[in-house]
Structure 1
Amino acid sequence: MTSDSMLREVHVRDAIGLVLAHDLTQILPGTFKGRLFKKGHIIREQDMERLLDIGKEHIYILSLEDGYIHEDEAAIRMAEALRGENLSLTETHEGKVSLISDIHGLVKVNREFVDAANAIEQVVVSTLLNNSVVQSKGAVVGTRVIPLVVKEQTVCQIEQLALQLKQQAEREAGPITVKPFLPMKVGLITTGSEVYNGRITDKFGPIVMDKITAFGSTVIEQRLAPDDRDQIVAEIQYFAELGVDMILLTGGMSVDPDDRTPGAIKQAGADIVSYGTPMLPGSMLLMAYLPVGDRRVPVLGLPGCVMHDPYTSFDVLLPRICAGETIERSDITAMGYGGLYRC
């Protein structure tokens, strides 16, 4: 059985109560061109004159056989199966349904599920990249099937895949979700004797503050430190005692002998996840966690490129940290694939 065998030509006067198989377009020269009736529309008696006005004395009608469903229903059911937290369905449009974000947040996509879904013939599941940032009302997923009519079993396979994933994860959310950003208190330490002694004006702070603010967090204080390891350690401890949720350090991250920041972070007692990331720009970033009571406070040493490059390793990690995720060594090593933005 094919979709063509389910299409039949019917005079409009005999089509009341039947279902349109495809969109019908109205063209009013110089004023309008667009959809008059959408696919799946059930033809009513009051539609007759409008159909005749656009030259449709005969139309194609879809008569679904048992075991087949219309593309709109297929797209809706697939989107429902995919939908996780903070996502809503759009209306169908030309056979497609989108999942849009209810919030400004971090997109989480199960890549294995998406690959498995698209391996099913006639299925389209198109998503943003995992760990993308999405604005409220932004599209995260688009679903559709290729033909006008598809076997219901095709959609059932998608639904079963999603159900298996939920059972494995022991959660109700679907394989694609959006995590909210948490309002975090951030301490900013600007190192460098040239800034500390007033020889130059700090240009790093305002840029970092803007990035933090973009995710709903706040730099509660910026403090300056010279190129002295003990003084940098003291500033880290100051913010730890203040109870901040994140500590950022700028300056002193290169291999020059006067650059003390990496050593100070380690001396302060932080557990180093990685000093260096396989991404350009941003390879000199340091990621660590400082034990403070029962908390592990993220501590990042930011390379100079954050000050002048619009997208660096810091921009990759910051949204995840602001969404409450813990960065592991494997997250850092994975940044090399696709990590060349500027060399």
Structure 2
Amino acid sequence: MQKVDTKEAVGMVLCHDITMVIPGKFKGAAFKKGHIIRAEDVPELLKLGKDQIYIWECGAEFLHENEAAQRIAGASGGEGTTFTEPGEGKVRFIASVTGLLKVDVQGVCLVNDIEEVALSTRHTNLIVEKGDMIAATKVIPLVVKREKIELVEQVCKERGPLLEVKEIQSFRTGLITTGNEVYHGRIVDKFSPVVKEKLSRFDCPVPFHVILPDETTRITKSIMDFIKKGADMVIITGGMSVDPDDVTPSGIRATGAEIVTYGAPVFPGAMFILAYLGATPILGLPACVMYSKATIFDLILPRILAGERVTRREITRMGHGGLCLDCPHCSFPSCSFGKSV
């Protein structure tokens, strides 16, 4: 600590709280420890009887907590993120667009392995709204060694931004409803309305829709026709089990599409299929999508609409956190379903 004349303290850092008392109205810190003194603070400090104050001598090898937090945020934040001004040493990351939050989980762990540094985020692959808080950072002490923040910056330089928000795109979708029982009018199609409603949340139109019997060749032909007409994505409902008359997987394979996975370690949604015909994603949805509020479809769809090409390894890793508890009052996505470390 160093005692200095208040009038000479502009730009210096308070090392203790300065209390203000207004009888019957207020008692508390007028200026908090760590506050960087501004020119307009000087008259107020003098009114509080502080002709001299104690300031923190950082030294060139140290950074104040506010500057440290700003540097961490600047290094780790990427596209679709912005930051608040420091408050009590903490900087908050804010989504500057509505989209898919992407977190480099391993990178965040490497940053938090650096002593006295704290970076806390929301889960990766979460849909966030513009203005949502997505992360926060600070250092633990009032001042921190400069070299520790430089280590954070080095991690981010090597790995790239640790957080970003990818904007969601509007995909023109081709929807194929399968099933002899629906095609022949024996039951009402209750599947398509559910899928269309979920797509509407992301402003995805469905200009192409057909109801087909359980016939491989007709499913294959409709997929190809929709893509030729300009569909950005094709979704097929029904026919996804292993029964002999469930031919949706065969219809998808017959297009020549690359099958990423037939099956996923996610409940509900184990019988899900994901394929790509060139750049066009093809999704085969199991029956659970029709009646369960949250399924594999809700986990994969935002990633596809954010322009990601989902891999088999990414899907197999969804087993951790992929068990829905089927709560009586569903709170998805504000629950553990689909979340992983």
| TM-score for the superposition, normalised by structure 2 | 0.85
Give 1:333 shift.
1.1
The residue aligned with 2:205 is 218
SS at match of 1:198: coil
Alignment of 1:34-73 (within 5 A): 36-38=30-32, 39-42=34-37, 44-48=41-45, 51=48, 61-73=55-67
Q: Is the 8 A contact 2:7 2:42 kept in 1?
A: no
Give 1:14 shift.
7.7
The residue aligned with 2:324 is 341
Write the distance in 2 (CA, Å) between the matches of 1:149 and 1:37.
17
1:308 aligns with 2:291: yes
Write the distance in 1 (CA, Å) between the matches of 2:115 and 2:124.
24
The equivalent position to 1:159 in structure 2, one of 150, 153, 157, is 153
1:186 aligns with 2:168: no
Residue 118 of structure 2 aligns with an amino acid whose one-letter code is V
Specify every segment of 5 or more residues in structure 2 that has no aligned partner in the other structure, as ranges.
327-341
The residue aligned with 1:298 is 281
1:143 aligns with 2:162: no
The residue aligned with 2:256 is 269
Write the distance in 2 (CA, Å) between the matches of 1:190 and 1:265.
13
The equivalent position to 1:119 in structure 2, one of 113, 119, 135, is 113
Q: Is the 8 A contact 1:282 1:305 kept in 2?
A: yes
Give 1:299 shift.
0.5
| TM-score for the superposition, normalised by structure 1 | 0.84
Q: Is the 8 A contact 1:281 1:342 kept in 2?
A: no
The equivalent position to 1:322 in structure 2, one of 295, 305, 308, is 305
Write the distance in 1 (CA, Å) between the matches of 2:23 and 2:267.
53
- What is the number of equivalent residue pairs in this alignment? 322
SS at match of 1:219: coil
Write the distance in 1 (CA, Å) between the matches of 2:322 and 2:74.
33
1:208 aligns with 2:200: no
User: Structure 1 29/325 Cα, relative in aligned 2: closer, same or farther at 3 Å?
Assistant: farther
Specify every segment of 5 or more residues in structure 1 that has no aligned partner in the other structure, as ranges.
1-6, 167-173
The residue aligned with 1:4 is none
Give 1:189 shift.
0.8
Give 1:35 shift.
6.7
User: Structure 1 24/232 Cα, relative in aligned 2: closer, same or farther at 3 Å?
Assistant: farther
Q: Is the 8 A contact 2:6 2:53 kept in 1?
A: no
Give identity over the alignment, percent. Answer: 43
The equivalent position to 1:93 in structure 2, one of 87, 99, 111, is 87
SS at match of 2:206: strand
Alignment of 1:225-304 (within 5 A): 225-290=212-277, 295-304=278-287
SS at match of 1:130: coil
User: Structure 1 80/197 Cα, relative in aligned 2: closer, same or farther at 3 Å?
Assistant: same
SS at match of 1:340: coil
Bigger mean CA offset, 330-339 vs 13-22: 13-22
Write the distance in 2 (CA, Å) between the matches of 1:66 and 1:254.
66
